[in-house]
Amino acid sequence: MSTASVPVRAAALVRRKPPPTVRRQRFLVAVANHSLLIAAAIIFIAPFGFIVLTALMTNEQALSVHLWPHPFRWRNFTDVFHEAPILRWTLNTMIYSSLATLGLVVSSVPVAYALARIRWRGRNLAFMVVLIALMLPPQVTVVPLYVMWTRLGQHIGFHFVGSLWPLIVPNWFGDAFSIFLLRQFFLTIPEEYLDAARVDGCGELRILTTVVLRMAKPAIAAVALFSFLYTFNDFFLPLLYTGENPARWPLQVGLAQFRSLHQVQWNLTMAATLLVMAPVIAIFFLAQRAFIEGVTLTGVKG
Amino acid sequence: MSPAAVAEAGPVPATDRRRARRRAAWRRRGLVFLLMSPWLAGFTIFFGYPLVMSGYLSLTHYDLLSPPKWRGLANYRYLLHDDPQFWPAVRNTLWFIAIAVPLQVLFAFGIALMLARAKRGLGFFRTVFYLPALAPPVAATLGFVYLLNPATGPVNIVLGHLGIQGPLWFLSPGWAKPSLTLLAVWGVGNTMIIFLAAVLDVPQHLYESAELDGAGPLQRLRWVTLPTISPVILFSIILGVIQGLQYFTQAFVAANIAAGQASQAGDTVNNLGYPQDSTLFYPVLVYQAAFVNNGMGYASALAIVLLVVAFAVTSVILWNSRRWVHYAGSVR
């Protein structure tokens, strides 16, 4: 701003007030914009509202035309645990999620580094192949993989089908989406930092484990977060591999079967639904910035 | 060139220098191989091998019990000419990609535009519109099947108060896909965040110069905002199409719950595509062929067709995009 040194006249020229008609028009547009936003926000929030209200109703009320619980039945949230082994399902989800996420981060970081910061022949081709793997629908490879796990199980006498291992193990070999996201982030690290480390006598491995890892913390956090979300929400593959063995069901498979388990009522089903949504939403509020930055990173740099 | 090679150059004889350089090059190759090895192994086992196997199995009859029997192209002939569910599944998936995906992009873009103009409460609104995207798909689908329950669901009750007779939603073949579309539009949060970041990133001076040239709000949207964010639009369309081709969870859960509700006889196997195959999307068909009917060979043939289509569609979009996507500062 030039207001500090130049007399007030010049400042008035720069920041001239628009005429009243324009100002009124702008005000009206802003009001219309906010009204639309508020209306849309109410529509977006309403499903959560109805789910919460139903989760607090008695069964008879959930099947009536009344929308407000009367009386509030807080017991639904404890009854749910008697109706279905939710803790068992949660444990299975935690096992799947933590082992998969750990392996995915450890295996994807070096690959992303090699694709981003080391020059070698065939690098672009390798990156293209990663992108193609990213676009491929999982249904294309699912049949041979299922056959593979079945046969492998017959060979060594362990029932992979019916366990969580076929879901976990592939994550230990690098995940295309995480490699992509980490590579995009590694590209943004200024070359000067790496050169400084090289001049100090660091080998590429030392550079990766010290300089790059320390700078890439937000990106690694985003990748771990997305991996947790993905595994927590995952349904298709868990349904295939654990569907026949209820003892290994993760939360999502259990929840999908919840209503048909013993003709469970809607109020309890909605209480279970809320319980399954809660961890994700809680994590969102704890790590809101990492979420938004991570999502943005996937899109803008793409 | 690595620093080590540079340091060794100088008074050392030429052959030694060359040898040192070669050694450095080999060390570098070894390092790249080491770093890439997790992915090389994973790609071979979980991507290359299954892809080749899919191709082979698609030419056989295989039920997991007896060894695969060679059938030539019989699976493909059956799929194109005789399977009564193949074309309905293709139509359902195309319907979803042609209607739900554009609606998602439009909604995400519209909300992002309104948010970008919001003077107050940006953080609050952003959270509200993003939250549904976080709801696990199974949970969100359960919620929507309840909300859209024809007789006692809140939506039809509210519609009834307004004097509108609500449709049968997930219980009617005509309304099942629109119901899933509502669910999909509800969960556009991720796309919305990406659009919002892109819209806020449009350089302000472009708007100012357009305004000086006398462009109204709509013209500024058409000639400034849209071209600048076109790479993001392309990204979200491709992502939407890919996800459309993989659409499974919501359709599976909705059909299962709605069918159980209608018959009170929750038998998962026969519920796929309920009502009347209207939610039988292509991935559901693959699932049914492989894991309900145990036809691993036929399911592989379906998968190969999906692979070809997925590639064709994404390359057509990418090819077309050269005409309308504008990359700032790059010659394309």
Model confidence pLDDT, tens digit, residues A41-62: 999 999 999 889 888 888 777 7
Query: What pLDDT, on a 0 to 100 scale, did the predictor assign at position A5?
Result: 45
Residue B264 above 70 pLDDT? Answer: no
- Decide: A175 and A168 in contact? Cβ < 8 Å: no
- The CATH number of A84-300 is which of 2.120.10.30, 1.10.3720.10, 3.30.559.10, 3.40.50.720? 1.10.3720.10
Query: What pLDDT, on a 0 to 100 scale, did the predictor assign at position B146?
Result: 87
Instruction: Name the 3-class secondary structure at B69.
Output: strand
Query: What pLDDT, on a 0 to 100 scale, did the predictor assign at position A16?
Result: 64
| B226–chain A nearest CA distance, Å | 15
Output the DSSP codes for B73-117: THHHHIIIII-TTHHHHHHHHHHIIIIIHHHHHHHHHHHHHHHHH
Q: Which amino acid type is present at position B22?
A: R
ipTM, interface predicted TM-score of the complex:
0.83
B163 backbone dihedrals φ, ψ, rounded to 5°: 80, 20
- Average pLDDT, stretch A13-20? 68
pLDDT band at B107 (very low <50, low <70, confident <90, very high): very high
Residue B11 above 70 pLDDT? Answer: no
Q: Considering only residues B140 and B274, tell me which one the structure prediction assigns the higher pLDDT.
A: B140
Instruction: Name the 3-class secondary structure at B61.
Output: strand
* Beta bridge partner(s), residue B69: B61
Least confident of B162-166, B255-259, B260-264: B260-264
Give residue-wise pLDDT tens across range A234-247. Answer: 999 999 999 888 89
CA-wise closest residue to B188 among A97, A34, A269, A43: A43
Instruction: Indicate the helix (H) or strand (E) that contains A227.
Output: helix A217-233
Instruction: Name the 3-class secondary structure at B70.
Output: strand
Give residue-wise pLDDT tens across range A138-174. Answer: 888 899 999 999 989 888 888 888 899 999 999 999 8
Query: What pLDDT, on a 0 to 100 scale, did the predictor assign at position B231?
Result: 84
Contacts of A120 in chain B (CB under 8 A): 28-29, 32
- Average pLDDT, stretch B32-47? 90
Q: Which long-range contacts (CB under 8 A, 24 or more apart) does A33-39 make?
A: A33/B114, A33/B117, A33/B118, A34/B118, A34/B119, A34/B120, A36/B114, A37/B111, A37/B114, A37/B115, A37/B118, A37/B121, A37/B125
Give residue-wise pLDDT tens across range B157-172. Answer: 888 888 888 888 888 8
pTM: 0.85
HSE-CB of B116 using CA atoms within 13 angstroms:
20
Residues A120, A122, A128, A129, CA torsion sign:
negative
CA-wise closest residue to B136 among A170, A236, A141: A236
In chain A, what percentage of residues exceed pLDDT 70? 91
Query: What pLDDT, on a 0 to 100 scale, did the predictor assign at position A301?
Result: 42
| Token representation of residue B159 | 């519609």
Interface A–B counts its CB contacts (< 8 A) at 275
Contacts of A62 in chain B (CB under 8 A): 152
Query: What pLDDT, on a 0 to 100 scale, did the predictor assign at position B218?
Result: 85
Q: Which amino acid type is present at position B161?
A: H
What does the radius of gyration of chain A's CA atoms come to, in whole angstroms?
Answer: 27
Query: What pLDDT, on a 0 to 100 scale, did the predictor assign at position B201?
Result: 84
Nearest CB to A140: which of B43, B193, B303?
A: B303
Residue B119 above 80 pLDDT? Answer: no
- Decide: A246 and A253 in contact? Cβ < 8 Å: no
CA-wise closest residue to A236 among B62, B291, B314: B291
Residue B326 above 80 pLDDT? Answer: no
Q: Considering only residues B103 and B202, tell me which one the structure prediction assigns the higher pLDDT.
A: B103
Residue A74 above 80 pLDDT? Answer: yes
Contact A295 B193 (CB under 8 A): yes
- Decide: B199 and B236 in contact? Cβ < 8 Å: no
d(CA B34, CA B48) in angstroms, rounded, equals: 20
Contacts of A144 in chain B (CB under 8 A): 49-51, 53-54, 57, 300
Output the DSSP codes for B215-242: --HHHHIIIIIHHHHHHHHHHHHHHHHH
- Decide: B83 and A170 in contact? Cβ < 8 Å: no
- Decide: A85 and A254 in contact? Cβ < 8 Å: yes
- Average pLDDT, stretch A74-81? 83
- Mean pLDDT for chain B? 85
Residue A302 above 50 pLDDT? Answer: no
**In the CATH hierarchy, which fold is given to the domain comprising B82-324?**
MetI-like fold (1.10.3720)
- Where do we find the tokens 């007399």? A7
- Where do we find the tokens 């145990």? B294
CA-wise closest residue to A113 among A187, A39, A172, A170: A187
Query: What pLDDT, on a 0 to 100 scale, did the predictor assign at position A166?
Result: 93
Question: Which of the 8 DSSP states describes residue B16?
Answer: H
d(CA B52, CA B312) in angstroms, rounded, equals: 19
Query: What pLDDT, on a 0 to 100 scale, did the predictor assign at position A23?
Result: 83
Query: Length of chain B in residues, anyone?
Result: 332
| Token representation of residue B110 | 């519209």
Burial (Cβ within 10 Å: 0-12, 13-18, ≥19) of residue B248: buried
Output the DSSP codes for A162-181: TBSHHHHGGGGG--HHHHHH
- Average pLDDT, stretch B107-134? 88
Indicate where chain B has its CATH 1.10.3720.10 domain(s). Answer: 82-324
Burial (Cβ within 10 Å: 0-12, 13-18, ≥19) of residue B239: buried
Contact A233 B266 (CB under 8 A): no
Burial (Cβ within 10 Å: 0-12, 13-18, ≥19) of residue B130: buried
Beta carbons within 8 Å of B48's beta carbon, 6+ residues apart: none
**What are the C-alpha distances in Å from B315 to residues A135, B92, B241, B323?**
11, 22, 12, 14
Least confident of A9-18, A172-181, B22-31: A9-18
Query: What pLDDT, on a 0 to 100 scale, did the predictor assign at position A89?
Result: 93
Query: What pLDDT, on a 0 to 100 scale, did the predictor assign at position B266?
Result: 46
Least confident of A64-68, B291-295, B325-329: B325-329
User: For testing the chain A interface, which of B36, B75, B234 should be mutated: the one with the most A CBs within 10 Å?
Assistant: B36
List the single residue in A with minimal CA-CA distance to B6. A199
Query: What pLDDT, on a 0 to 100 scale, did the predictor assign at position A188?
Result: 83
d(CA B182, CA B180) in angstroms, rounded, equals: 5
Query: What pLDDT, on a 0 to 100 scale, did the predictor assign at position B67?
Result: 86
